[in-house]
Structure 1
Amino acid sequence: MANEIPKLPSIPIKRRALFGFAVAASAGGLVACSGRTTHDGTAAASAPTGSPSAVPAAPQGDHVRVLGVNGGPILSTAHSQPALALLVGTRVYLIDCGGNTAQRLVDAGIGFAGLGNVFTTHHHADHVAGLTDVALLGWTYTPSPVGDLDVWGPLKIDAVISGMQQSLGEATRLFSATKPPRKVTAHTISVPATGSVEVMRDDLVKVTATRVFHGPEVPDAYAYRFDILASGRSVVFSGDTAGPNDNLIALARGTDVLFHEVQMNSAVEELLVQRAPTANQAGLREHLFNSHTDVIAVPQVAQKAGARHLVLCHYVPADLPIAQFHSAVQDAAHRAGFNGRLTAPSELDVIPV
């Protein structure tokens, strides 16, 4: 049975120009316009050690570069907040933009020139905190600066972008004297309680979204599917969701690669809840256990969807070794009857599509 979330009304189109940047929002269904080894049953790319020479080489074909894997607004010396970059040809599609995303794009050797679209799954800080760095520092990055950006996301993404522009107004004005201005355009996506909608299509990909359940306090949380037009292959990004989620399973039907968040419920109480201030523990406990997907359930999603490759992401608790998530999901996969490939990547790892 699908998690029921009421459909919220669309918001009207808004346009605002700030210090040479243009901000626009569109609403509706069809939107107008670290030193470790990857844990993979079939051996994926080796993980980086932080030096440029250790960054895995990009494959010739379409692929996802993992930029951040921490679950939650964690500042860590080992890992970064959630961000995944889908590379199709020379174009980059960014899914979520947590803190340190801009630096990871540079570390990966991707830069910003191919980046034109950012898709946010929801408004939690660890999924949007890096937008300002990507917009401003990407614009000023000399080797391969970002051009115009389209940012897609749930209701209020226009307010996020507008607020970002206002906060960076003076910095933008100062740089505009030496660099031509470019636009950041917000596209508000409205998705019904069940089913999916096409939200963007260009000459390389079709992007479809569905609504997932991430707790009643997050009324708009989305998963995205990218169908690559030339190859016919597909990749799905779950965002943050309690699972198994029926909408996500339907969206991921027959997909080649499914990126799915993962939580180790058995460690949440000791490593997260009990470390929080006493007054915050009840609320944190309720959110974590009711709004994320336990290691036992993740392979059930992949098995029911018929996904060929399950890739873990958004590890909670972030303190646990990635190998521990891989082992737990692998055991659960045997019980669920999922026989596809399983990968537990770290930052800068490469996942072929």
Structure 2
Amino acid sequence: MIRIAVPMLAALLSTAPAWGQSPPADRFVTLGTMGGPVPSTTRSQPANVLLRGKDAYLIDCGDGAVEQLAKAGILLPQVRAVFLSHLHVDHTGGLAAVLGLRNQTNVRPVLTVYGPPGTKALVAGIVASMEPAARAGYGIPGQPWAPPASTVTVVEMADNTRLSIDGMTVTAAQNTHYDFAPGSAEDVAYKSLSLRFDLPGRSIVYTGDTGPSAAVERLTKGADLLVSEMIDVEGTLEVVRRITPNMPAVAQQQLIRHLTTHHLTPKDVGTLAARAGVKSVAITHFAAGADNSARAAGYLRTIAETYRGPVRIAKDLDHF
């Protein structure tokens, strides 16, 4: 048996592809890997795309998603649907550009946006904001753009929603990014979802934003690829303290609660991947530390304490 030192193993895992010698037919592309809402100079806001041949399916749509699609060589007419894990603006800020630019360039097929409760209200607001430009068109009398409401439709999902879409099965599970009391009015109105995509050749689970969750673990069982969010709590707090040095104590306590219960630490990621028995892991949604090689190696070491499979820290425009 060949034994590899943990630091060397971490380096290998951070650069090894999530597939074998050739990429799969269905590819997952991390368009934006920054955990919002603080902008980054090196990473775009949370957005991903599932490529199936020429068809593209956006999975979350943070600010800059259109530009990231262009960098990936994907045209807006290729986008068949959008899936939103939850409605925080770092995951939805690019949707207005997707809808508006499709309207402006007369992309005809109706785009379906799948998301949690509240997605209809979100899209209705974007559609309303598009109306003045659509009526004016390019300023040529009698040639406005199509009515924005006619270009998009919404399907809201809940816990255990299961859909068959273009030859793939999409399953949603309510996760723990919010901790409203089960059955409360807030719990009914606001949900954060993790999503599983079962394709003819492989299965992919996208956690979205979540804390440790038995439901997400069940959703992830046996997946070929787990695309997981991850947070460096101390690194994030360092950034926040630098940006907001006089944050009130109550606000700091609320932030710590959010970071430690509504997100996954490296240890949590390793535990989830090991218990679910996934074949490989891609890490995304960084709030701090991802571009620091020493910290990144530490994340991988922590994950490897419980999960022995291949792990890759994703960058913008990586393919899996």
Q: Let me know the Cα RMSD of the aligned residues.
A: 2.5
Is the contact between residue 192 and residue 209 of structure 2 (CA under 8 Å) also seen in structure 1?
Answer: yes
1:210 to 152, 155, 173: 173
Cα distance in 2 for partners of 1:285, 1:349 equals 30
Are positions 1:41 and 2:10 aligned together? no
For the 8 Å contact 2:224–2:280, the answer to whether it is kept is yes
- What is the deviation of 1:300? 0.9
Distance in 2 (alpha carbons) for counterparts of 1:344 and 1:60:
19
Deviation at 1:327, TM superposition (A): 1.6
**1:233-277 CA distance string (max 9 Å, x none):** 11000010112x211111011100000000112323222256335
Q: Which residue in 1 is equivalent to 2:303?
A: 333
Matched, 1:248 2:216: yes
Greater share of helix? 2
Question: Of 14, 27, 42, which aligns to 1:63?
Answer: 27
Higher RCO (Cα < 8 Å, 6 or more apart): 1
Aligned residue in 2 for 1:11: none
Distance in 2 between the 1:149 and 1:123 partners?
18
TM-score for both structures, normalised by structure 1: 0.76
**Is the Cα–Cα contact under 8 Å of residues 299 and 310 in structure 1 kept in the other structure?**
no
- Equivalent residue, structure 2, for 1:6: none
CA distance in 1, matches of 2:164, 2:136: 35
Segments of 5+ residues of structure 2 without an aligned counterpart are 1-10, 181-186
Paired residue secondary structure (2:286): strand
SS in 1 for 2:272: helix
Alpha carbons 2:135, 2:145 under 8 Å: kept? no
| Most deviating of 113-122 and 271-280 | 271-280
Does the alignment pair 1:161 with 2:123?
A: yes
- The equivalent residue for 1:264 is 232
Change (3 A) 1:76 1:334: closer
Identical columns (%) = 28
Is 1:95–1:119's contact at 8 Å kept on the other side of the alignment?
yes
| Mapping for residues 216-227 of structure 1, pairs under 5 Å | 216=179, 219-227=190-198
Deviations 1:41-89 (A, max 9, x none): 27457xxxxxxxxxxxx95721011110010112222111000100112
1:35 aligns with none
Q: Where do 1:302-317 residues align within 5 Å?
A: 302-317=273-288
Q: Which residue number corresponds to residue 3 of structure 2?
A: none
The answer on 1:92 being equivalent to 2:64 is no
SS at match of 2:61: coil
In structure 1, the partner of 2:4 is: none
Q: Distance in 2 between matches of 1:335 and 1:61?
A: 31
Q: Normalising to structure 2: TM-score of the pair?
A: 0.83
- 1:128 maps onto 2:92 in alignment: yes
How big is the shift at 1:40?
5.6
For 1:154, give the aligned amino acid.
P
1:72 aligns with 2:36: yes
In 2: Cα distance, 1:79 partner to 1:246 partner: 30
Question: Per-residue CA shift, 1:131-164, capped at 9, x if unaligned?
Answer: 100111234358xx57321011111110000011
Q: Can you list the C-alpha shifts for 1:290-342, whole angstroms capped at 9, x where unaligned?
A: 2111112111111110111100010122x641645542232123321x12111
How far apart in 2 are the matches of 1:73 and 1:285? Answer: 16
- Cα 1:215–1:42, aligned 2, differ >3 Å: closer, same or farther? closer
Q: Decide whether the 8 Å contact of 1:135 with 1:146 is kept in 2.
A: no
Aligned to 2:285, the other structure's residue is in SS state strand
Distance, in Å, in 2 between the alignment partners of 1:137 and 1:66 is 21
For the Cα contact (< 8 Å) 1:237–1:259, is it kept in 2? yes
